[in-house]
Amino acid sequence: MTAGPHLPERTPRAKDQPTALDGVLVVDFTRVVAGPACTQTLADFGAEVIKIENPDGGDDTRSYEHAEIGGESAAFLTLNRNKRGIALDFTNPKALEIARALIAKADVVVENFSGGVMKKYGLDYDSVVSSNPRLVYCSISAYGRKGDFALRPGFDPITQAESGFMSLNGFPDSEPVRTGSPIVDFATGMSACNVILMALLAREKLGRGQRVEVALIDTAVALTGFYGMAYLISGNNPGRFGNSPNGSPTVGVFRASDGPLYMACANDRLYRRLVTEVLDRPDLVTDPDFSHRKARTANKEKLRGIISGIFATDSLEHWMAKMKKANIPVGYLRTVEEGFNAPEVRGRDRLSRIPHPTAGSVPNIETPLSMSLTPAIDPVAAPLLGQHTKEVLRKTLGYDDRRIAELAEAGAFGKPIPSRGTDE
């Protein structure tokens, strides 16, 4: 396997800057994608996030096979930055006592187990709210915690398929295509973060917390956006349109003589600039077949053929320069490697390397969120399995070494795991 690109060390934040979520304690029972994406954002902005994992293998993403470094997977490193990790065996009563003690101190609990799991262990909202009325308790699931499908498991691509979202992706003459990145998972994680923050604000007014919920299927439906709304208005089932929404002849991938570009010339003003200032074809403005948007849509194949033929006559850089000068929205069609090394990305200082206990250092993709007064904390790599168990019990729950040793002997943390990093 080839090594990744060179990444700079991250520039530390100013020491005197506060954090947005300082003092907020989050107990994180999540795994895989949506839940960890939510809690990572909370951790990035100063919340103390304690990630609880099964000592037998931990979060499923630890074994994902995209790539690994220092024995940790790319997926796990992507989603669990800035968290402290502990390992608890929920089949052990002592471990459940620890979980309940942490919940009693928490501001936020986030869980995305299959339906019924938290209730089975006495960790569901109704079981714990009496000990902590100010608790914000967020459940993330595929189909919701109530109703006929509450116990049905589901994952991002399943809800992409079942919601109709997947039917919008791909080309008209091919099967629907799921998004490469699990967009429903990530969007659900963002929504969960939003609803938690709203509940924390509401707590200041109401004096108590509440149960909040997000579901993958709801997010997938919402992501159909105006195509879903158009169906509800017209009754017409939207189809796939590839790279050109509604078959627009001036939006999508075009090829210069030496490579592709993506153009989004989506209104009359941009179209006029395109054909007069870039393509040198003012006749395409006055021609009744192309003079207004509806005419262009009706004659889209003809117009697209004309535009494609012109682009093919010269180089990519020639057309990019002309379109940028005319202020036409256009971009290079890049691979991940090309995108991550492009000036538009590198200039944002969002890619760096951060220390890691077994790998030495690991790549880091910075949070996309920026705050001027309370910026994100300096990133700490995702924890090793159970790395902070003793530290959390000492500092958060006040347990002494003798009690921790007794819990370990009783099997609360599972079987002893050979140390791969520091526990402090």
Residues with catalytic function: 185
User: Mind giving me the DSSP string for 121-156?
Assistant: TT-SHHHHGGG-TT-EEEEEESS-SSSTTTT----H
Please, are residues 69 and 359 in contact by the beta-carbon 8 Å criterion?
A: yes
Amino acid at position 283, single letter? D
Amino acid at position 375, single letter? P
Closest CA to 293 of 253, 251, 236: 251
**What are the C-alpha distances in Å from 69 to residues 72, 100, 161, 274, 365?**
5, 34, 33, 47, 15
Residue 317 half-sphere exposure, CB side, CA atoms within 13 Å? 0
Length of the chain: 424
- Which run of H or of E encompasses 202? helix 183-206
Beta strand 360-365 with 351-356 is antiparallel
Amino acid at position 162, single letter? E
Please, are residues 393 and 413 in contact by the beta-carbon 8 Å criterion?
A: no
DSSP 8-state secondary structure symbol assigned to residue 317: H
Please, are residues 317 and 307 in contact by the beta-carbon 8 Å criterion?
A: no
- Which class for 291: exposed (0-12), middle (13-18), buried (19 or more C-beta within 10 A)? middle
**CA 278/CA 324 separation, integer angstroms:** 9
* Three-class secondary structure of residue 293 per DSSP: helix
- Which run of H or of E encompasses 355? strand 351-356
Provide the 10 A C-beta neighbour count for residue 312: 12
